[in-house]
């Protein structure tokens, strides 16, 4: 007992012996980190003190009381009610909602485009493979700001006016005033429809994963997609019986008098430019990430799946992509963060995102420090939220050792 205690004590540094402590590597590792933290704290204190001193010299007091005053400027595109008589807080909230709308749509469509382009880069079809290569090389190697200017000035602002609009099936109208799409209006049963459909989607995902596991582990035949359609169809029928109405009514854009478009959903040229620019630019990076992730899967996995008689689409869906996700998710998270931060380039084309509105607020109030802090906190919160969600998803696709 005494021997083990003596052996254990011999592993610890003798803090009463200064020369021995100074020769201990563990002490210097701890000391280096403590010194680094101390230097950072001192630097922050120095910067804050310098800022406060300069503001006092200019006769400006720090504070966020200006957020309650009247904004007195208009915002061209809002999803929530807003007027110039509202406060700066309301104006910044409008910009935040616009930023989140662009970010969410950009993440969804960039993922879809990148996934398709990444798979196309490995296609056996020569033409498809070359088209994907050209897309990736062009949009990945040109600045995003230049691409936004191209989409805005060379594409959307060059579209014809309403009277000569380009009509696509749907109907969808492409004009210099924006893109007019069919949209839907809620009905009396929309709420119940959404609840039941959400339950149906949850059941479909559970059934799909259960059938995939049976196919992989026990080799049972069956199409997981057909199984997952069951809960969706059942939830739709149940909602139709209970509400006796459809979930939405269509609101189609119509050309009135040959000079005006009414109804439907209007996407402004600025919003359309920003979403398309972010999607195309980020999708080119995601395509390379997907291609690298697929190529990281050992060749033997392809050969084993073919030996089992699986078709190419089923091999990609059930064997390759689940393994490639472990390689894809970490760099994909970085691209998601880049997309969220790149959305601040909206100011270059006049889209009122949170950065645009905050800049206008700064110009009117002169509260540079407070406004910059709000912008930093906003983008930091968005980025940390994306990182948290992607890390949680990454944990679900990692190998679990038994």
350/75 Cα distance (integer angstroms): 10
Residue 171, preceding bond cis, omega within 30 degrees?
yes
Tokens linked to 109: 């469509």
Q: Taking residues 260-286, what's their average pLDDT?
A: 92
Quick check: 126 pLDDT over 70? yes
pLDDT for 171-189, tens place per residue? 888 888 888 988 888 888 8
Q: What per-residue string of b and e applies to 135-153 under the rule 16 or more CB within 10 Å gives b?
A: bbeebeeeebeebbeebbe
292 CB-near residues (< 8 Å, 6+ apart): 327, 328
pLDDT band at 292 (very low <50, low <70, confident <90, very high): very high
Quick check: 13 pLDDT over 60? no
Quick check: 402 pLDDT over 80? no
Quick check: 39 pLDDT over 90? yes
Quick check: 221 pLDDT over 80? no
In terms of Cβ atoms closer than 10 Å to its own Cβ (0-12, 13-18, 19+), residue 341 is middle
**184 near 249, Cβ under 8 Å?**
yes
Nearest one of 198, 205, 206, 208 to 238, comparing CA atoms: 198
Q: Please state at what angle helix 354-365 crosses helix 368-397, rounded to 10 degrees.
A: 160
Quick check: 16 pLDDT over 70? no
Quick check: 248 pLDDT over 90? no
Q: What is the pLDDT of residue 1?
A: 44
């Amino acid at each position: 007992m005494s021997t083990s205690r003596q052996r254990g004590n011999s592993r610890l540094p003798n803090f009463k012996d200064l020369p021995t402590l100074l020769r201990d590597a563990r002490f210097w590792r701890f000391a280096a980190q403590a010194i680094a933290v101390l230097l950072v704290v001192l630097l922050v204190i120095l910067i804050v003190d310098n800022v406060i001193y300069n503001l006092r010299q200019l006769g400006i007091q720090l504070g966020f009381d200006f957020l309650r005053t009247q904004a007195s400027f208009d915002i061209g595109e809002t999803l929530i009610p807003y007027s110039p008589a509202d406060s700066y807080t309301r104006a910044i909230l409008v910009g935040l909602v616009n930023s989140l709308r662009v970010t969410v749509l950009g993440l969804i469509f960039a993922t879809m485009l990148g996934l398709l382009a990444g798979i196309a880069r490995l296609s056996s079809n020569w033409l498809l493979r070359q088209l994907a290569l050209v897309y990736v090389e062009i949009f990945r190697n040109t600045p995003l700001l230049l691409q936004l200017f191209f989409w805005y000035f060379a594409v959307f602002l060059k579209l014809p006016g309403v009277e000569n609009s380009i009509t696509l099936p749907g109907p969808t109208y492409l004009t210099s005033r924006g893109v007019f799409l069919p949209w839907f209006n809620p009905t009396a049963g929309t709420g119940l429809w959404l609840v039941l459909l959400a339950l149906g989607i949850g059941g479909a995902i559970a059934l799909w994963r259960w059938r995939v596991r049976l196919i992989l582990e026990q080799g049972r035949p069956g199409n997981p997609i057909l199984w997952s359609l069951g809960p969706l169809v059942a939830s739709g029928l149940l909602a139709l019986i209970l509400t006796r109405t459809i979930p939405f009514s269509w609101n189609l854009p119509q050309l009135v008098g040959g000079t005006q478009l009414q109804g439907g959903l209007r996407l402004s040229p600025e919003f359309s430019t920003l979403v398309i620019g972010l999607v195309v630019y980020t999708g080119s990076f995601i395509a390379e990430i997907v291609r690298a992730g697929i190529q990281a899967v050992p060749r033997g996995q392809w050969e084993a799946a073919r030996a089992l008689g699986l078709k190419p689409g089923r091999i990609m869906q059930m064997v390759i992509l689940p393994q490639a996700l472990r390689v894809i998710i970490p760099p994909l998270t970085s691209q998601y963060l880049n997309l969220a931060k790149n959305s601040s380039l909206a100011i270059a084309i006049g889209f009122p995102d949170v950065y645009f509105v905050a800049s206008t607020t700064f110009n009117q109030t002169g509260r540079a420090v407070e406004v910059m802090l709000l912008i930093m906190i906003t983008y930091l919160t968005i980025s940390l939220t994306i990182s948290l969600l992607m890390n949680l998803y990454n944990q679900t696709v990692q190998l679990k050792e038994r």
